[in-house]
Chain A
Amino acid sequence: MPGAIYAEGLVKTFGDVRALDGVDLDVPEGTVLGLLGPNGAGKTTAVRCLTTLLRPDSGRAVVAGIDVVRNPDAVRRSVGLSGQFAAVDEYLTGRENLQMVGQLYQMKAKAAKARAGELLEQFHLAGAGDRPAKTYSGGMRRRLDLAAALVVSPPVMFMDEPTTGLDPRNRQQLWEVIKQLVSGGTTLLLTTQYLEEADHLAHDIAVVDHGRVIARGTSDQLKARTGGERVEVVVHEREHLTTASEVLHGFGKGEVALDEHIRRLTVPVTGGAKLLAEVIRELDSRGIEIDDIGLRRPTLDDVFLSLTGHVAEEETAEGAEDTSAEGGSGTDSARSTRRKEATK
């Protein structure tokens, strides 16, 4: 039984660019998949194919049990789309926007109006509901955009970089909203460039690069691939490095790495926080003064680096070009520029 979102061998090319190069996805009902990758990796193209905005060149996609290519209209009735490219009308008020979207989802005018009111309340926009969206802050606009995708409470949601360009506070707020949404049973596919975001919101993560899924698993599984946890110690005095190294060697499961310049020692361990406490006691009993100590688990940044051989952020400049190729007409890059301006 395939999941609420299922894709098999999706391919989409734009000229010479293979934006999707055989993508397979399977998102079980009621779970969240984080599609993680740098700009231009093909995340947006994947979402556009799954939401019927683009027709894949080959491959099969089934959303909410409906074939995307064969029955796009039925898919549209079952999905909500929010984020990077699905916008709201800035000259309409929040209420008018939601009501319009409701009516275009084929709700009756009266029902659409009532639903708009409910959503404004839920998304803390009631006070601003009768102001043109133009006057909204970046965070409010994103909330309105998200509300518009939820007008008919679709069983499957797609969010394309929902928090790109938001400040940390607004990002936190939006995360809360998304978590509540998911706790209600909605299946969600979320794309993000923020490793932290995928870690925070997604049950499963698929790492995409150059139009392919290069790794998948839970955040923990991916981190485990990169190597397990390790203890990192920064000692105060340079002459304590040798003693400290001996102590760590005793607790560790491998070579102790030494960075003399910043007086830092790192060793792979198993045993977690309990072990860390023992290490601290031992160092203390030997009179070694510590500037910093901690149990480090690999971040998704480490995961990305070990999987792709390059850091996620490094691709941004090149990615901007790729993104415009994705859109097929170059307006995507213009749009992302506009988004950046809008969020300033």
Chain B
Amino acid sequence: MSAATDTAGSAVPLRPGSAIGQSVRDSLVVAKRNLIRMARIPEMLIFGLIQPIMFVVLFTYVFGGSIQVGSSTSTQAYREFLMAGIFAQTVTFATAGAGAGIADDMHKGLIDRFRSLPMARGAVLTGRTLADLVQSALTLIVLAVVAVLVGWRTHENFGKVLAAFGLLLLLGYAFSWIGALIGLSVRTPEAATSGGLIWLFPLTFISNAFVDANQMPTFLRHIAEWNPFSANVQACRELFGNLPPGFQASDAWPMQHPVWASLMWSVLIIVVFRTLAVRKYRSATA
């Protein structure tokens, strides 16, 4: 054993480059680590799929004929209306995954290890959120296939459909930063999971995701219209061509310009929560 005799300390070939370059590389190293973990714990991905698939099937067949959207009560109209809502809900659940993962790393001492290394400060969190983005993309692909199997169809060109999925992933990425902050703030992975999920239910239900918000009481309707989540759902419906016949978009600005609203919301969430999470990470004491 010559670990010590070989004083490679300074002789180690270090990577050259700028701070931004280092930040990107470190983030990718951490993302790779999280992706390897994901591949070795496939249960996580599978369980993450069961819930949205259940929602697709339950909402389609149980509520399918009884919820009026726009002027239509047809099962097909609701089916197409519904999918954007379930896709969006699914990507926001990445919040819980990111939160639990980071809380687990804290708990096990890995964050301490990372913080003792000369690496870019935000890289541990960026790496995690990037890996979650990949997971969200995989989940969306499977979910879209299931949706098509139960009769979901798009009525716009392929570019627009892809743009919708892009918006969904951006929203999911933004929400995983909220999860990162939660994960750094709680003491156990369990707390991070429940802390990451509870508020998602009111957020996703007081929205246009599952019902036509126009039919809500005024007070709730206003909340729903300005909910970042609703903007995303509305944008996806437009881009998928899934707005039901006779649907009247509300006059609220986000509902009139849902694509812009969704983009702005997502960027705002990323800027705010990334800043808070990285600051928290710097001072994180496990």
Contact = CB atoms under 8 A, between A and B. Distances in A.
Interface in B174-203: 187-188
Interface residues of B, number: 43
B286 interface: yes
Interface stretch (A207-215, A232-240, A254-262, A322-330): A322-330
A63 B32 CA distance: 32
B285 A96 contact: no
A154 interface: yes
Contacts of B25: 103
B119 interface: yes
Given A153-B4, A185-B7, A328-B285, A87 B108 contact: yes
Interface string B131-148: 000000000000000000
A110 to B, nearest CB: 9
Contact of B4 (A76, A132, A181, A328): A181
Interface stretch (A77-85, A245-253, A278-286): A77-85
B260 interface: no
Interface string A313-335: 00000000000000111111011
Residue in B33, B112, B113 with the greatest tally of chain A CB atoms within 10 Å: B113
A85 B29 contact: no
A159 interface: no
A88 B113 CA distance: 8
A92 to B, nearest CB: 6
Interface in A112-127: 115, 119, 122-123
B3 interface: yes
Interface range on chain A: under 10, 10 to 19, 20 to 34, or 35 or more? 35 or more
Contacts of A91: 36-37, 40-41
A85 B286 contact: yes
B187 A180 contact: no
B46 interface: no
A14 to B, nearest CB: 9
Contacts of B119: 104-106
B3 A150 contact: yes
Interface stretch (A2-10, A51-59, A192-200, A219-227): A51-59
Given A150-B3, A335-B109, A89 B33 contact: yes
A329 B7 CA distance: 37
Contacts of B8: 152-153
Interface stretch (B11-19, B56-64, B152-160): B11-19
Return the 8 tightest CB-CB contacts between A and B, nearest first. Answer: A184-B4, A87-B109, A76-B118, A184-B5, A181-B4, A77-B118, A104-B119, A81-B116
